[in-house]
Amino acid sequence: MIERTAHYIGGQWQPSIGTETIPVVNASTEQIMGSIPAGNAEDADIAVRAARAAFESWSTTSPAQRAGYLKLAAEQLQLRQSEIASLVSQEVGMPFAYSNVVQVGLPVQSLVSIADLALSFQFEKKVYNSLVVREPVGVVVAITPWNYPLHQIVAKVAPALAAGCTIVLKPSEVAPLNAYILAEVFEAIGLPPGVFNLVTGTGTGVGETLVAHPEVDMVSLTGSTAAGRRIGAVAADTIKRVSLELGGKSPLLVLDDADITAAVSHGLSACYLNSGQTCIALTRMIVPRSKLAEVEAIAKVGADSLVVGDPFDPATVLGPLVSSTQRDRVVTYIEQAIADGARLVAGGPTPPEGLETGFFVRPTVFSDVTPDMAIVREEVFGPVLVIQPYDTEAEAITLANDSIFGLNAGVFSGDEQRAISVARRIRAGQVQINDGAFNIHAPFGGYRQSGNGREFGTWGLEEFLETKSLQLP
């Protein structure tokens, strides 16, 4: 049992004023593995005031000093890599081998890349008779999700600190224990008190107070579209800057000149990573109608062959979903799709054989879907793929763009330039060409109801900066 009883505020571990606790459940065993404080409005207020008190001093430190702290943090996280990966595999369910690479490797890379960027970024620029200055926006509240918990925390914390902001973090209460390790790292490297603050709790108990707080200058959220709407509404009262990375229902457009086996295999991997609990998952496979039967056959064999099980078994490819709530939500979508007339190609609503304990869902594939079905339009956030056929390239692009979301997409083609041409016509913040890899140095974010703002690279740093003009004589 990992029992956390305090928040990290003002450089100290402060017992929660809120008297209740929130259990943390192991996704594979359904057993309680720890607990965290259910902070309240007073805890949130104390954390914001600590960040505000630290801002003046921290905002005047040099970029080199800030970069130094980020690099020290990266070194300390790397020393605890196996511990963190094991913890996240228990909290979230991602297989341990992937957790080592993704759940810990990406945060370490992000800290180093942002540190290097801070050293080269042009914080001042002469424009005719003006000196244009980029300054930290102020006190930032970061509200982060459970699916890639430490990765999403660092994606906000690293550029905010590099910009000279101070921060209050509210991690997801579903997978919060890894955030405590980051707080311990910042404490160990001597980050000045109040620069980074951690408060745990629910959205209603802590999150709303943080978002509404008059001393907060910016809110950065990664979460659901519903959460984004609520945060935007609450933040509007004080005209805060709001950066939102929200949901997705991302298409993989397979062109008629593509290697079908390679395209479908890539599509399955891009859909099922982290058991489908990935905002950029390519959950809609759009394929030539003439090759639909071939695609279905490859998808069935691929989905049926994936090993679902214990995240600590080296053979496991898909672990459980994060919670009973998430499992039940995904199963409901599968059952509804069957009731709506979608044809089940692989998987289904029943748990994998022998895995009745744990939040497991079989990798599932549907065909014969219509554009109005919930399984096509809504973000399921589980291991569920739908296949949609098309007759012409124009129709394929129309299907790809037929969504309220626009976070990610993919195009697979035997001709890279053709794929790029099609990708330019897709309304999404990121498009993968064939098996192009995720890049933490490139901007990440969505169009439409997938949010606003960008993370990573120069674009991620600029989110946390204000622009001032000094008019010189």
Which contiguous run of DSSP H or E holds residue 23?
strand 21-25
Measure the CA–CA gap between 202 and 182, rounded to whole angstroms.
19
Residues 91, 165, 173, 245: which is the catalytic one? 245
Eight-class DSSP state of 191: P
**Catalytic residue (choose from 165, 279, 296, 463):** 279
Active site residue 245: yes
One-character DSSP codes across 242-295: EEEE----EEEEE-TTS-HHHHHHHHHHHHHGGGG--TT-EEEEEEEGGGHHHH
Cβ atoms of residues 155 and 460 within 8 Å: yes
Backbone angles phi and psi of 21, in degrees to 5: -125, 160
State the amino acid at position 433 in one-letter form.
Answer: I
Beta strand 21-25 pairing with 32-37: antiparallel
271 is catalytic: no
Classify 326 as helix, strand or coil. helix
Q: Are 289 and 63 in contact (CB under 8 A)?
A: no
Rounded to whole angstroms, how far apart are CA atoms 431 and 328? 31
Q: Nearest 5°: CA angle at 60, between 59 and 61?
A: 95
Q: What's the CA gap between 249 and 381, in Å, rounded?
A: 9
Report which of 388, 285, 300 is spatially closest to residue 347, judged by C-alpha positions.
300
Q: In what order do the strands lie in the sheet with 32-37?
A: 2-3, 32-37, 21-25
Q: Which residues are catalytic?
A: 245, 279
